[in-house]
Amino acid sequence: MDDLRQKFPLLVNHPELIYFDNAATTLKPQPVIDAVMNYYVNLSSNIHRGDYKTAVEATRHYDAVRQKVADLIHCDPDCVVYTTGTSESLNLIAQGYGMTHLVKDDVILISEVEHASNVLPWFNVAKKCECTIAYVPLNDDLSFDLDALDQIMQTKPVKIVSLAHISNVLGYVNDIDEIARIVHRNHGILVIDGAQSVGHIPVDVTKSDVDFLVFSSHKMTGPTGVGILYGKKHLLDATEPLFYGGDSNARYYKDGSYTVKDVPLKFETGTPNIEGIIGFGEAVSFIQSLDLEVLMKHVIEMQHYIMDELSKMDHVTVYNPISNTGIVMFNIEGIFPQDVAAYLGHHNICVRAGSHCSKLTCGIFETDSSVRASLYFYNTMDEARKFLEVIQSISLEAVVSLYV
């Protein structure tokens, strides 16, 4: 573990830091940073345009990333679209596919435990297309009720189902293989938000048979500003681009007619985040060099230890006991969640407090805010113990002392 942690400069430069905010963004290893720097220092050219040496080399590095991503999620590289992140990818599907295929009274099925970026794009489309939003019923433990999902699919005109593989608040892994079987048996299209799963657990879109999968580079040790949209080829062909312009068009004429390039290039207009995508390629290589299953066992061991200890504290409420991906959502009685986060921050422990971009989930727990600790493979059991020690020491008086 020490050798692995040494690859992350932030941990090396700040050994006192306990970074438990990985569901928000992950730390970046040195190879990723080096790849970004190398682009600026040695390449610094546009791609798919120049015929000179640095431009050709930049293009080679950039194009190689698409195959790396395809290998990671087990798909054809032509089905991999570069975007700016999960949010753009979901908006592209909602507007580019949903707006052109949904009609009045069709049903879009989401859940109450989705990130805002997998809710609001569908609200927008439903409003414009006069569709209905429905929600997958939840079991008592807040997992999806798949029998109820099947029943809804059979009785309502559901055309699109869009769900998280792993909830960014609750942290449990949904059975996307079974969900895909249910959705396809009932002639629906399945969109999966993989922002919290890709780079954390193995993902195989061919095996799972999902129609669309979206995820972000920065959630899996890569740079910010880079996302991936995977789609089955025939569905990408049927999806309209969000943007039009340079590098995505094939031809255009004075009379207003135009044609766009084939997928995936028809979606990739203008100069992209070249250095970010090249850096993401290094992140993919880094992730693939690891044994994710072994490392996830380590993450789950730390998470269970933290949850077990928190459950012994009378003043602490844990909201997601079935989490199995390193996410712990909790509150401390009588102390505002942001104050808990500030107190932890004062002790060099990084967590998030708030609604976690999931206000519907907060409504389930009848709270506007909570504290979220989220672990990744470079965290340690010693850090978990230190976290619990600081939680034990929190009091209203101690929090007030931060501000006086």
Q: Return the active site residues.
A: 357
- The residue with tokens 């102390």 is 335
Rounded Cα gap, residues 365 and 373, in angstroms:
17
Q: Which two tokens stand for residue 308?
A: 């077990």
H/E run at residue 188: none
Could you tell me the maximum CA-CA distance found in the chain, to the nearest angstrom? 72
Strand, coil or helix: 100: helix
CB neighbours (10 Å) of residue 10?
Answer: 12
Strand, coil or helix: 149: helix
Contact between 239 and 96 under an 8 Å Cβ cutoff? The reply is yes
CB contact set of 23 (below 8 Å; sequence gap of 6+): 168, 171, 196, 219, 327, 352, 356, 372, 374
Q: Which two tokens stand for residue 304?
A: 């269970």
Rounded Cα gap, residues 331 and 341, in angstroms:
10
83 DSSP β-pair partners = 227
CA 384 to chain centre: 24
DSSP string, 248-311: TEEEE-TTS-EEEPSTTGGG--SS--HHHHHHHHHHHHHHHTS-HHHHHHHHHHHHHHHHHHHH
* CB crowding 337-367: b at 16 or more within 10 Å, else e: bebbbebbeeeebbbbbbbbbbebbbeebee
Q: Which two tokens stand for residue 187?
A: 């002639």
